[in-house]
A and B are shown apart, each in its own frame.
Chain A
């Protein structure tokens, strides 16, 4: 039994010794927003934030996440108002099938927390580990830029 802090809630989870965080999230906690794409840490569909850092949850053992703060797509806005990144993804057509989208949004969130004013090249470099097979990525770059403007303006106002 381990304790996982996910999206601000503490969960007691009974995991197997070699169980990945991805499996614990999806199969034990029914947090299915985090997606299973390649199982080898290449596609980025399973990206979550662990203590604010983007991590491929298919490679991280659940036990290693104990005591850390985990953010999944379900924790980005919950059922409430869309996060500026989520809105920007909608505005820019930054997804089609939507399967890579949770991972993309979390990776972009990590980027904007480190670098609130990324250039297109910054975005392309930071997010290069996330694969989208439907779009051209151009739409995602635009969405992240739009969200970065939105977040900066919101920060100025507050």
Chain B
């Protein structure tokens, strides 16, 4: 079947506004009477809060509100507690601070300088406690405990997932070769260029209005409703364009602080985090992964034991789910009969780690794909073939019970291997050694998830897609319009899709813009809404033409009688006639996530991989990427240019995490929380030779066969680079062994910070 719009690399709908500097982000918004909020953060990693005295700050001219624990008496108007997986966070610290950067108080003032001055007038007395920063040490019974009042947390473990299959001991007994290694990865940060930022106020009727660059408008609304003890309908969350997110802008980040200050000051309040604060707000999980793999001489995988210790920092955040998903896919895309995997989500005195593109998979993929490479090497097998020989195939059952579908690994792996001439003997000369490596990955999309959409035909012949999918660069606005256009039977050229930013008053419910779910979940909702609208337009046209709707066809924005193309109306004409007779809006509705949709354990699998050719300077250790190939199974690429952009950009963050990025802590103190010291990939770190391979194994339930792909490359990149380094040097990189050393200080002393 030929598509009119799907599969075409049209320009982004938000593109012209963005290249002209006219796209509005949260940071660009102003509101009359607006105050500026600043946050007082803990300078110590773990301490009891002895005293918080805000009286002097409150007296400073220009200060309109100071927020502290005194504003949260038991049974008071605001509830201090929130948290994505458990109510472990508080709006401001109540009795303890648990990481450097933990929120102690906040001020709203006429300008940022006055607010900063007020912060310096807040007197805080900290009684320091021993800290713990190594996740493996943290679970020892004698280690300092971050929480003692939450029953779901024991020995700093806030979550444990187990995946079991077969008989693990038997699996290793029957293996001819056993590999066992420990892999470590450090803390990293998202570094979205637009900092976290929110603008909040209460309107005359008492409704709370929040503009914020969030990925989860409905989630933010729900959490704010709990804090402010208000019905959700009394809160409106609006999302302008978002300047990068990558997982960091899900659930409350600054919205609650802006709103609480606005509540206290009775004025609009804007909070824009400084870059250093962004580093302390949410991070990627540092990890220790112990992995043991058993296989037969022919390369057949027999057994996999995995222990995942993920450092979630001071609060659970999304950590429990990150660990859950990483553990459940710790076997990779492979068939392994005997499995024992345990994942632990562990609290330490660091900023909390949450969702970051790849959602826990990069850490574990480094382990399982290094083992696949080591297996091939030790058994003298081809690294592509040993992977292909072990793949779970279409229709196979994954250990979680989900079915493998739309998983184009074989094609992808062969193309990746061929693209870099994997196995080539050219290893370079002299001090420069050349190596090649590949890796693949698997990630689950999120389950039990719902999206609603509306597609509206406007009086002037334009259309509006009402969807709460957040446009954060991935191209949601464009892809949703393409899906709607395809289903409506209109061409993008000549038809205007009027943008509507997510707004909980206007755009219907959507679970969230995360987990690469929008193209699949919201895409289905939009497609259904477009079909519903098309049916309504056809019915109305049939009425006008006094003909049965079954005898009408739609193409290129026209409804006409089958076999008599000249007899018919354009959509614009139909809409004009409709509105001449009707007051009611002309809207189609669509929903994804009903019982039928939920029948499958998992909506779809993210399938991706990476191949690298690199050169190492054996004197300096400098690694130069000569070529990087990133690949993904798109199901069906709705907009190939956007898909390629997603895959290449995803892989680039992977380059950073493999070679450049680490947020470092010494005694709980972050030492490089700035762009000056935290090295991000620049123009100089990415190869010119950077092709993308898009495989298209259509997904039976995806809109036009499409599914998500935005996290399918990154998780494979560190492993591919490690494998290429082994090829060049003969050394297995299991990441920095020193990352966790020397930071488990147990000194106890009291300090006063005023």
State in angstroms the CA–CA spacing of A140 and B16 once bound together: 16
State in angstroms the CA–CA spacing of A18 and B27 once bound together: 21
State in angstroms the CA–CA spacing of A67 and B225 once bound together: 51
Contact partner of B19 (CB less than 8 A), chosen from A89, A97, A129, is: A89
| Complex contacts, B243 vs chain A, CB 8 Å | 35, 97-99
Contact mask B247-288 → A, CB, 8 Å, 1/0? 000000000000000000000000010110000000000000
Q: Does A63 contact B (CB under 8 A)?
A: no
Q: Does A40 contact B (CB under 8 A)?
A: yes
CB of A37 to closest CB in B, whole Å: 5
Q: Which of A57-105 contact B (CB under 8 A)?
A: 72-74, 76-77, 79, 82, 86-87, 89-91, 93, 95-102, 105
Contact mask A32-52 → B, CB, 8 Å, 1/0? 111111111011010000000
| Complex contacts, B207 vs chain A, CB 8 Å | none
> Are B682 and A131 touching (Cβ within 8 A)?
yes
> Are B686 and A136 touching (Cβ within 8 A)?
yes
Question: How many interface residues does chain A have, given as a range?
Answer: 35 or more
Q: Does A127 contact B (CB under 8 A)?
A: yes
CB of A16 to closest CB in B, whole Å: 8
> Which residue of A has the minimal Cβ distance to B28?
A32
Q: Does B239 contact A (CB under 8 A)?
A: no
> Are A139 and B648 touching (Cβ within 8 A)?
yes
| Complex contacts, A125 vs chain B, CB 8 Å | 683-684
Q: Does A124 contact B (CB under 8 A)?
A: yes
| Complex contacts, A134 vs chain B, CB 8 Å | 244, 473, 645, 649
State in angstroms the CA–CA spacing of A72 and B475 once bound together: 25
- On whether A105 and B649 interact (CB within 8 A), knowing A99-B25, A138-B686, the answer reads no
Which applies to chain B's interface (DSSP): helix, strand, loop or mixed? loop
Q: Does B191 contact A (CB under 8 A)?
A: yes
State in angstroms the CA–CA spacing of A34 and B648 once bound together: 26
Q: Does B193 contact A (CB under 8 A)?
A: yes
Q: Does B544 contact A (CB under 8 A)?
A: no
> Are B675 and A40 touching (Cβ within 8 A)?
yes
State in angstroms the CA–CA spacing of A3 and B275 once bound together: 30
CB of B709 to closest CB in A, whole Å: 14
Q: Does A128 contact B (CB under 8 A)?
A: yes
State in angstroms the CA–CA spacing of A36 and B22 once bound together: 15
State in angstroms the CA–CA spacing of A77 and B748 once bound together: 61
- On whether A90 and B688 interact (CB within 8 A), knowing A38-B674, A99-B243, A131-B675, the answer reads no
> Are B21 and A34 touching (Cβ within 8 A)?
yes
Contact partner of B12 (CB less than 8 A), chosen from A42, A90, A130, A135, is: A90
Contact partner of A101 (CB less than 8 A), chosen from B18, B24, B648, is: B18
State in angstroms the CA–CA spacing of A42 and B648 once bound together: 23
Contact partner of B21 (CB less than 8 A), chosen from A37, A72, A93, A135, is: A72
Q: Does A21 contact B (CB under 8 A)?
A: no
| Complex contacts, B242 vs chain A, CB 8 Å | 97
Contact partner of A133 (CB less than 8 A), chosen from B192, B642, B688, is: B192
> Are B676 and A42 touching (Cβ within 8 A)?
yes
> Are B16 and A82 touching (Cβ within 8 A)?
yes
Question: How many interface residues does chain B have, given as a range?
Answer: 35 or more
> Are B21 and A100 touching (Cβ within 8 A)?
no
| Complex contacts, A42 vs chain B, CB 8 Å | 674-676
> Which residue of A has the minimal Cβ distance to B27?
A36
Contact partner of B20 (CB less than 8 A), chosen from A86, A96, A130, A141, is: A86
| Complex contacts, B193 vs chain A, CB 8 Å | 35, 37-38, 43, 45, 97, 99-100, 131-133
Q: Does B651 contact A (CB under 8 A)?
A: yes
> Which residue of A has the minimal Cβ distance to B9?
A93
Q: Does B210 contact A (CB under 8 A)?
A: no
CB of A155 to closest CB in B, whole Å: 21
- On whether A138 and B19 interact (CB within 8 A), knowing A128-B683, A131-B193, the answer reads no
> Are B19 and A105 touching (Cβ within 8 A)?
yes
> Are A99 and B194 touching (Cβ within 8 A)?
yes
| Complex contacts, B682 vs chain A, CB 8 Å | 128-129, 131, 137
> Which residue of A has the minimal Cβ distance to B645?
A93
> Are B690 and A138 touching (Cβ within 8 A)?
yes
Q: Which of A106-134 contact B (CB under 8 A)?
A: 120, 123-125, 127-134
Contact mask B1-34 → A, CB, 8 Å, 1/0? 0000000000110111111111111011010000
State in angstroms the CA–CA spacing of A73 and B681 once bound together: 24
State in angstroms the CA–CA spacing of A118 and B28 once bound together: 34
Interface centre among A74, A77, A136 (most CB of B within 10 A): A136
| Complex contacts, B472 vs chain A, CB 8 Å | 97
CB of B711 to closest CB in A, whole Å: 14
CB of A8 to closest CB in B, whole Å: 16
> Which residue of B has the minimal Cβ distance to A99?
B243
State in angstroms the CA–CA spacing of A124 and B680 once bound together: 15
CB of A65 to closest CB in B, whole Å: 18
CB of B277 to closest CB in A, whole Å: 11
Q: Does B241 contact A (CB under 8 A)?
A: yes
> Which residue of A has the minimal Cβ distance to B113?
A16
Contact partner of A120 (CB less than 8 A), chosen from B28, B195, B688, is: B688
Contact partner of B675 (CB less than 8 A), chosen from A43, A90, A97, is: A43
| Complex contacts, A77 vs chain B, CB 8 Å | 20
State in angstroms the CA–CA spacing of A14 and B24 once bound together: 25
CB of B729 to closest CB in A, whole Å: 26
| Complex contacts, B194 vs chain A, CB 8 Å | 35, 37, 97, 99
Beyond A132-B193, A134-B649, 15 extra complex contacts between A and B, CB < 8 Å: A32-B21, A32-B28, A35-B193, A35-B243, A93-B12, A96-B645, A97-B194, A97-B241, A97-B472, A98-B14, A98-B23, A105-B19, A133-B192, A135-B645, A136-B649
Which A-B residue pairs are the 6 nearest by beta carbons? A33-B21, A97-B473, A98-B18, A99-B243, A96-B473, A73-B21
Chain A to chain B contacts (Cβ below 8 Å), 26 pairs: A32-B21, A32-B24, A33-B21, A36-B195, A36-B272, A37-B275, A40-B675, A40-B676, A45-B193, A86-B19, A90-B16, A93-B642, A96-B474, A96-B645, A96-B646, A97-B194, A98-B19, A99-B192, A99-B243, A99-B244, A132-B193, A136-B648, A137-B652, A138-B688, A139-B645, A139-B648
Interface on A for B, CB 8 Å cutoff?
A: 26, 30, 32-40, 42-43, 45, 72-74, 76-77, 79, 82, 86-87, 89-91, 93, 95-102, 105, 120, 123-125, 127-141
